[in-house]
Chains A and B, each alone.
Chain A
Amino acid sequence: MASAPPKLIGNPMATVEQLETSASQIDGIPKELEDSIHFAGARLTQLAGILLRLPQDIIAIAIVNYTRFWLGPEGGSLKKYGAKDISIASLYVTAKLSAYPRSPRSVINVYAYFDAHETTFEHHAPNSPNPLDPQTYFVSEGTYQARRLALMRTEALLLRTLGFTTDTALPYALAITYMQTLDAFADHAAGSALTKRVLAHLNSALFSPQKLYLTHQPAALATAAIYLAGHEREMKLAGEDWWEVFDVGREELGFLVFSLNSQNGFAEREVERWAGRKVPLTVLEVEREMGVGVGMGVGMGVGMGV
Chain B
Amino acid sequence: MTGKSRWADSQEDAVAEEQRRKEKEAKKRAKLAQQKLAEERRKQHEQQEQQQGGVRDDLENRPAKRQRLSPAQNTDTAQKTDKAAEAPTKLLKFHAPSLGPCRHVDNFERLNHIEEGSYGWVSRAREIATGEVVALKKLKMDNLNDGFPVTALREIQTLKASKHPNIVDLREVVVGDGDDFSDVFLVMDFLEHDLRTLQEDMAEPFLPSETKTLLLQLASAMEFLHDHWIIHRDLKTSNILMNNRGEIKIADFGMARYFSDPPPPNLTQLVVTLWYRAPELLLGASTYDTAIDMWSVGCIFGELLTKDPLLQGKNEVDQLAKIFALAGIPNDDSWPGFRRLPNARALRLPRLPNPPKSSALIRSKFPILTNAGSALLAALLSLNPASRPTATEMLAHPYFREQPKPKSKAMFPTFPSKAGQEKRRRRATPDAPKRGEKGAFAKGRDAVDLTGLFSGRDAEAAGAGFRLKMV
Contact = CB atoms under 8 A, between A and B. Distances in A.
A248 interface: yes
Contacts of B160: 164-165, 167
A247 B160 CA distance: 26
A14 interface: yes
Contact of A5 (B12, B99, B229): B229
Nearest to B15: A254
Given A12-B98, A14-B99, A254-B12, A93 B147 contact: yes
B148 interface: yes
A71 B259 CA distance: 31
Contact of A255 (B2, B98, B101): B2
Contact of A157 (B93, B153, B179): B179
B102 A156 contact: no
A16 interface: yes
Contacts of A258: 7-8, 10-12
Interface string A151-170: 11101110111111111000
B147 A19 contact: no
A14 B154 CA distance: 24
A203 interface: no
B398 to A, nearest CB: 32
B229 A7 contact: yes
A161 B157 contact: no
A20 to B, nearest CB: 9
Given A96-B146, A251-B2, A241 B94 contact: no
A104 interface: yes
A160 B100 CA distance: 9
Contacts of A4: 258, 260
Contacts of A3: 260
A9 interface: yes
A272 B435 CA distance: 51
A39 interface: no
A12 B264 contact: no
A244 B89 contact: yes
A252 interface: yes
B97 interface: yes
B52 interface: no
Interface residues of A, number: 64
A5 B19 CA distance: 39
Interface in A182-224: 210, 214-217
Interface in A63-94: 68, 71-72, 74-75, 92-93
B98 A15 contact: yes
A255 B8 contact: yes
A99 interface: yes
A247 B258 contact: no
B3 A19 contact: yes
Interface string B336-366: 0000000000000000000000000000000
A166 B173 CA distance: 13
Interface in B264-303: 264
A5 B91 contact: no
Contact of B94 (A9, A18, A104, A249): A9
Given A93-B148, A97-B150, A156-B180, A255 B11 contact: yes
A86 to B, nearest CB: 14
A111 to B, nearest CB: 15
B10 to A, nearest CB: 8
Interface string B93-112: 11011111110000000000
B98 A155 contact: no
A50 interface: no
A96 B98 contact: no
Nearest to B96: A13
Contacts of B98: 12-15, 18
Interface string A243-269: 010011111111101110010000000
A163 B91 contact: no
A249 B100 CA distance: 27
A101 B258 CA distance: 14
A93 B260 CA distance: 20
B91 to A, nearest CB: 4
B147 A165 contact: no
A282 interface: no
Interface string A130-166: 0000000000000000000001110111011111111
A251 B179 contact: no
A165 B99 contact: yes
A270 to B, nearest CB: 15
A252 B2 contact: yes
B175 interface: yes
B99 A71 contact: yes
A165 B93 CA distance: 21
A162 B101 CA distance: 5
Nearest to B16: A251
B70 to A, nearest CB: 28
A30 interface: no
B19 A250 contact: yes
Nearest to A157: B179
Interface in B117-165: 144, 146-148, 150, 153-154, 156-157, 160-161
B324 interface: no
B393 to A, nearest CB: 21
B180 to A, nearest CB: 7
Contact of B96 (A12, A68, A92, A155): A12
Contacts of B7: 210, 258-259, 262, 306
A125 interface: no
A262 B8 CA distance: 10
**Interchain residue pairs A-B with the least CB separation, the first 3:** A258-B11, A254-B15, A13-B96
13 contacts: A4-B258, A5-B260, A72-B100, A97-B153, A156-B180, A160-B184, A163-B102, A214-B99, A244-B91, A247-B91, A247-B92, A250-B18, A252-B1
Interface of B: 1-3, 5-8, 10-12, 14-16, 18-19, 88-89, 91-94, 96-102, 144, 146-148, 150, 153-154, 156-157, 160-161, 172-173, 175, 179-181, 184, 228-229, 258, 260-261, 264
Given A19-B3, A155-B148, A249-B89, 14 more contacts: A4-B258, A7-B161, A7-B258, A12-B96, A13-B97, A13-B98, A72-B100, A97-B153, A156-B179, A163-B99, A163-B101, A241-B89, A249-B91, A251-B16
